[in-house]
Structure 1
Amino acid sequence: MTDTPVGHPRTHTRPTGGTPRTGTAPRAATARKTGSDLHLELAAGGRRAALMAALREAIRSGRLTPGTRLPPYRSLAADLGIARNTAADAYAELVAEGWLTARQGSGTTVAERAEPVTPARTRRPSPPPRPAHDLRQGQPDAASFPRADWLAAGRRALTAAPNEAFGPGDPQGRRELRAVLADYLARARGVRTDPDRIVVCSGFAHALRLLFDGAGAVLPGRVDGPLAVEAYGLSFHRALLTAAGVATVPLSLDENGARVGELTNRQDVRTALLTPAHQFPTGGPLHAARRAAVVDWARGRGGLVLEDDYDGEFRYDRQPVGAVQGLDPERVVYLGTVSKSLTPALRLGWMVLPEHLVDRVLAAKGEREAWASALDQLTLAEFIDSGGYDRHVRRMRRRYRDRRDQLVVALAARAPHIEVSGIAAGLHAVLRLAPGTERSVLKAAAYRGLAVDGLADYRHPLADPDTTPAADGLVVGYATPPDHAYPAALAALCDILPPPV
């Protein structure tokens, strides 16, 4: 039987379902929209009437939009288990009614004049307008993502990948990635580990959830009390811990980092979360004596140090500060990601664990990897192993150092009275303001379309005002703006800074 439908007495246009003939250009709308795989549910009763009703409903509801090409009637009949003539007659009837159009060699399509019913939509608040200048912290330079090198690494990784890599994911992470991470972290960050003690996760927040959140979490029973955190840090992380039922107590800060000696006065604390390489957001590394002291405290207390190494690759004024984990791998959980070095869009991070915690973390993750893509893991492994990651980090280190220098020069020229701190590393700086001025400066920034963070937002609500006095300031991220927009962003920043007191 040919693919030409049985004629219908009310139309001379015969629907077809074949592909366009060579040399026949399909319409632009149908070239982009096909309906070869079509879901239809036929009601009880006559097959032709049921098929016509199902097609009308699909068009009315908007599931089949004008210009969509339908499958050949023979294919549709086979899919639905109905006679070919039944499907052909239904198509011809809908052409006659104006729901469909048919041209020899171009197939059967939904008519352009068939207007779908717009489904009701829940009204949602409009997204906030994009700022004219974005100096918020936390984002790397999106334009500098190494797209070509990443794509090349992905091709090589997929070509070499074993077949089992395309099956269910291992919750510990791909062995290829864990092996290169063990080498890289030892070389670049002074971490002491092996692949079997690394667990891949989707980022720092995911790691916290595995450790603390839910019935299967690793540490709540072991913490047996509040978690010590730094007096300044991300409120998002504190909120995550609070939601998991974990109370946090702040450690005071000074120019040498967290005052870890305060831990000895808290008998109920057995775990501390720190940013030793570059205190977030105030800047500065944890002093060497305090690094040793916090490890000694963890040994004596039978506790743990959670080390958040969020931007350890980016240090400008001296050699990188190594990881605290290297002092005692059995008392420190090292946490890292590619969120700052590459992009947060990858959703890849890692936990370097004491040996006795590996199985507990894997039990918390479950039998299969639910978050971190195995293909992204393989690509990252190849990117690191080929040297592409090192080259990218070195290039971005130079780029961010230049951005930092531009910020410092602009402030020296237009606001020399403003103290700048935290500039030895990372992707942001802290501008100290006169007491009582932060709120008004932020209002002025919003008026100018300048997005920037206030320092007060990062302060722990229980921070001791005697040991860590509240300070007014701005947390200025210098990685986000594109090159052409950065000078204007710096000018807008200088415009809203208050004059000398």
Structure 2
Amino acid sequence: MALSQTNSVRPADPRLAWDTVLDLGTDDAPLVARLERAVRDAVHAGRVPAGAALPPSRALAETLGVSRWVVTEVYGQLVAEGFCEARIGSGTRIAAGAAAHAAPKRATSTSPGPAGRARLDLAPGVPDLRHVPRAAWLRALRDALADAPDADLGAPDPAGHLAARAAVVEYLARARSTCASPDDLLVTHGATDGMARLSRALRSAGHRALLVEDPSWARLRDVARDAGLVPVPVPVDARGVDVDALVAAAARTGARAALVAPAHQFPTGVALAPERRDALVSWARASDGLVIEDDYDAEFRYDRRPVAALQGHDPGRVALLGSLSKTVSPAFGLGWLVLPPRWRERLGPQAGGPAPSTLDQLALARFLTDGGYERHLRAARGRFRRRRAGLLDALAATLPGLPVTGLAAGLHVVLGLPDGVAAAAVVRAAAARDVAVADLRRYRVAAAPLPGTPDEALVVGYGNLADARVGEAVAGLAATLRSVGI
């Protein structure tokens, strides 16, 4: 049906697209998909120019006879893809260049997201880009700039601004049970930057090997390898990294540093068992070693409170990597590295890498101290908890014979595959249907799976998947699996 926006108060600005005809069609696609398609069609047809403002969500919902949630979901998705822009005080507008986005290929299709991301995004490792706390961050940045003394606008401290370091330390002590002072913390561009700095320091101190979980997030292993450290794989099972195997690998290779994710291991989705936490720290003490704790998405635990960081167990033997990448957005480029005091001294010039913008650091301090970060995390936990439940329900209904594993935490689950079905083939076939999903094999270190690790499995993310598309995404994945013989 063709509907037009009518209102007793007519907008005077010719760049307001409040009277645009939006044809929702009569097909069986969800309302969210139909409205999104209608907005795109209006832009591709030239009826809505770049820069034009769309109607307020409440007004458009009333006119179309749909819930406001449908409109806000569509606006959020279009903003996340860069098709629209949302600015405080000016509503949601069509972005410059939106007409250049690929037009839909079929009636229920929409164009891909930034950097070629699939429309049905089940890939892991990306947070919900529709709900980045733009207003809270903008307020923190504005207040930080307004209040910054002149001295703060000079060359940045290589270790990070004291206000940012103090704010992060206070937050980590409260939320992750860490034990550190501002002098023990470096502000970084993210976990990868922190790992690169620490890897160079390890290499200069005589380390030649790094014990790593297998499977694990590849980027941190890669920067360690680039610094001259040889990754030594250690298997992960249902209770986390196998510490007995780790100790044996350390004895065999001489490695005295280990990179682990004890709170929520990626990609297996398990937590390190309490007795293994104790054993890992005992190994570090006995070997004069260092445990590097990747605090990957540890804030997102849905069945109980997150487990405390391992760093608080022994601050002299554990370094902690953290960032805003998985909790807010990788675009912020902010993170932290908490170091044992002697390693903070050993980093020396390594701490002098290019520091994040001082203004961004001051905004981070405001964001943490005024509660904006924790308010964002509470809202995000609620969304991800509901989205995870919806994903599990859809998988159980559509693919009832396949096992789903992983804690009620983080932004992904692991979907096991039957014998004889290659995950790589599923990933390729899914991409042809505009569904993104990951092969667990891509995160392995060893060529063959180590004992106790999964063989063929998919890593299914839900962080950046709109709630309204969970069912459609799982249906696309199910169709893909049927096409490869399941």
Output the TM-score relative to the length of structure 2. 0.72
Quick check: 1:259 aligned with 2:259? no
Q: 2:235, 2:453 within 8 Å by CA — same for their partners in 1? A: no
Quick check: 1:316 aligned with 2:330? no
- Mapping for residues 366-381 of structure 1, pairs under 5 Å: 366=352, 370-381=354-365
Return the alpha-carbon distance in structure 2 between the equivalents of residues 441 and 334 of structure 1. Answer: 36
Return the alpha-carbon distance in structure 2 between the equivalents of residues 452 and 147 of structure 1. Answer: 28
Describe the shift of the 1:362–1:155 C-alpha distance in structure 2 as closer, same or farther (beyond 3 A): farther
Query: Alpha-carbon deviation of 1:408?
Result: 0.3
Describe the shift of the 1:405–1:500 C-alpha distance in structure 2 as closer, same or farther (beyond 3 A): farther
CA deviations on 1:222-257 (whole Å, 9 max, x unpaired) are: 353311000101233333222222111111111100
Query: Alpha-carbon deviation of 1:440?
Result: 2.8
Q: 1:223, 1:271 within 8 Å by CA — same for their partners in 2? A: no
Q: Please point out which of 187, 200, 215 is paired with 2:187.
A: 200
Identify unmatched segments of 5+ residues in structure 1.
Answer: 1-126
CA deviations on 1:312-345 (whole Å, 9 max, x unpaired) are: 1100111211111111000000110010111101
Return the alpha-carbon distance in structure 2 between the equivalents of residues 464 and 396 of structure 1. Answer: 34
User: Could you say which residue in structure 2 is the equivalent of 1:454?
Assistant: 439
Return the alpha-carbon distance in structure 1 between the equivalents of residues 117 and 238 of structure 2. Answer: 35
Return the alpha-carbon distance in structure 2 between the equivalents of residues 332 and 238 of structure 1. Answer: 17
Query: Alpha-carbon deviation of 1:446?
Result: 1.8
Q: Please point out which of 271, 276, 299 is paired with 2:262.
A: 276
Return the alpha-carbon distance in structure 1 between the equivalents of residues 116 and 367 of structure 2. Answer: 36
Amino acid paired to 1:271: A
Query: Alpha-carbon deviation of 1:435?
Result: 2.7
User: Could you say which residue in structure 1 is the equivalent of 2:178?
Assistant: 191
Quick check: 1:414 aligned with 2:401? no
Quick check: 1:473 aligned with 2:457? yes
Quick check: 1:219 aligned with 2:206? no
DSSP 3-state at the match of 2:464: coil
Q: 2:159, 2:355 within 8 Å by CA — same for their partners in 1? A: no
After superposing the two structures, state which structure 1 stretch, 455-464 or 152-161, moved more: 455-464
Return the alpha-carbon distance in structure 1 between the equivalents of residues 268 and 454 of structure 2. Answer: 12
Give the alignment's Cα RMSD to 1 decimal: 1.9
User: Could you say which residue in structure 2 is the equivalent of 1:83?
Assistant: none
Amino acid paired to 1:495: A
Describe the shift of the 1:238–1:189 C-alpha distance in structure 2 as closer, same or farther (beyond 3 A): same
Identify unmatched segments of 5+ residues in structure 2.
Answer: 1-113
Query: Alpha-carbon deviation of 1:447?
Result: 2.0
Q: Please point out which of 352, 376, 388 is paired with 1:404.
A: 388
Return the alpha-carbon distance in structure 1 between the equivalents of residues 280 and 477 of structure 2. Answer: 38
Q: 1:231, 1:463 within 8 Å by CA — same for their partners in 2? A: no
- Mapping for residues 319-330 of structure 1, pairs under 5 Å: 319-330=305-316
Amino acid paired to 1:220: R
User: Could you say which residue in structure 2 is the equivalent of 1:149?
Assistant: 136
Query: Alpha-carbon deviation of 1:134?
Result: 1.5
- Mapping for residues 427-466 of structure 1, pairs under 5 Å: 427-437=411-421, 438-461=423-446, 465=450
Return the alpha-carbon distance in structure 2 between the equivalents of residues 286 and 454 of structure 1. Answer: 23
Q: 1:171, 1:362 within 8 Å by CA — same for their partners in 2? A: no
| Identity across matched positions, percent | 44
DSSP 3-state at the match of 1:199: strand
- Mapping for residues 209-358 of structure 1, pairs under 5 Å: 209-212=196-199, 217-222=200-205, 224-265=207-248, 266-267=250-251, 268-358=254-344
Return the alpha-carbon distance in structure 2 between the equivalents of residues 406 and 321 of structure 1. Answer: 25
DSSP 3-state at the match of 1:219: helix
Q: Please point out which of 108, 127, 132 is paired with 2:119.
A: 132
Q: Which has the larger radius of gyration?
A: 1
Q: 1:250, 1:462 within 8 Å by CA — same for their partners in 2? A: no
Amino acid paired to 2:155: P
Amino acid paired to 1:456: R
Query: Alpha-carbon deviation of 1:481?
Result: 2.3
DSSP 3-state at the match of 1:228: strand
